[in-house]
Amino acid sequence: MAADDIVFLVDVDNTLLDNDRLISDLMQHIATEYGAQSRERYSQILETVRAQLGYVDYLGALQQYRLEHLDAQGLLGMSGYLIDYPFAQRLYPQALQVLAHLQSMGETVILSDGDVVFQPRKIQKSGIWDAVEGRVLIYVHKEQMLQSVAQRYPARHYVMIDDKLRILDSLRTQWQDRVTTVFPRQGHYAHDTAAIAGFAPADVTVESIAELLNYDARDLLGA
């Protein structure tokens, strides 16, 4: 199969970038600046919003928290912490090198869930956006948008790299032999037995994204 016939679809959070660390830093910042009670309340709202929307909306949760504390002008600094966060420092080791390696074998596209403000900024400021030359797709539920993905980036075969077995299993169900699934066991979802129970194992499992530097197209398609 020629390289032009392969499209690599790569997730961001806990696949290329340590999002668990980002959340930990944010919660620590809130506790330090506004107190443990504020941290717990924001965390509750964040989880409620995630359950409603299907993705983590940091700024939306912050807006809801602000509505409960209209006189707390200090909260305005929280948005600055999020927007100016050092995302590039949270990339997993050799994440950008992996993107370059994949690009040498086919076309590499970021396929992520998220909102339309914070998620693009995260991808831009981390260096991921430039690494894939702007080939970035962000949806609310990406597994429901495969027809759109295929129209934008047609290929004979896809390789999906994601830390959530649920997503990989959904792509396998829809695309069957048209896709190879790759599961980097990074982040809390990848180690949550409840989150991975009931889903088929991926075609390829690696302990870190950097391990993909040791794989070529034949390894991945052969899997």
- Residue 196 pLDDT > 90: no
Neighbouring CB atoms inside 10 A of 176's CB total 8
* Mean pLDDT for the chain overall: 91
Tell me how many degrees the CA angle 111-165-55 measures, rounded to the nearest 5. 50
For residues 200 and 172, the answer to whether their CB atoms sit within 8 Å is: yes
pLDDT range class, residue 223, cuts 50, 70, 90? low
Asked which of 36, 66, 86 is the last residue of a domain, the reply is 86
Query: What is the DSSP pairing of strand 107-113 with strand 136-139?
Result: parallel
For the residues 158-178, what does the mean pLDDT come to? 96
- Residue 105's pLDDT is 94
Q: Is the same domain home to 24 and 121? A: no
For the residues 135-161, what does the mean pLDDT come to? 95
Q: Is the same domain home to 47 and 122? A: no
- Residue 4's pLDDT is 57
Q: Is the same domain home to 212 and 156? A: yes
Q: Is the same domain home to 155 and 211? A: yes
* Higher pLDDT among residues 222 and 123, named by residue: 123
- Residue 154 pLDDT > 90: yes
Which helix (H) or strand (E) segment holds residue 161: the answer is strand 157-161
- Residue 70's pLDDT is 66
pTM, two decimals, is 0.92
Asked which of 63, 86, 109 is the last residue of a domain, the reply is 86
Q: Is the same domain home to 146 and 176? A: yes
CATH classification of the domain holding 150: 3.40.50.1000
- Residue 92's pLDDT is 98
Question: What is the residue range of 73's domain?
Answer: 20-86
CATH classification of the domain holding 68: 1.10.286.50
Asked which of 61, 86, 111 is the last residue of a domain, the reply is 86
Q: Is the same domain home to 13 and 82? A: no
Q: Is the same domain home to 44 and 101? A: no
Q: Is the same domain home to 100 and 125? A: yes
| Residue 171 C-beta-side C-alpha neighbours within 13 Å | 30
18-72 pLDDT, tens digit each: 999 999 999 999 999 888 998 999 999 999 988 888 888 888 898 888 888 766 6
Q: Domain total for the chain?
A: 2
Q: Is 24 exposed, middle or buried (0-12, 13-18, 19+ CB in 10 A)?
A: exposed
Q: Is the same domain home to 150 and 63? A: no
Q: Is the same domain home to 32 and 115? A: no
113-143 pLDDT, tens digit each: 998 889 999 999 999 999 999 999 999 999 9
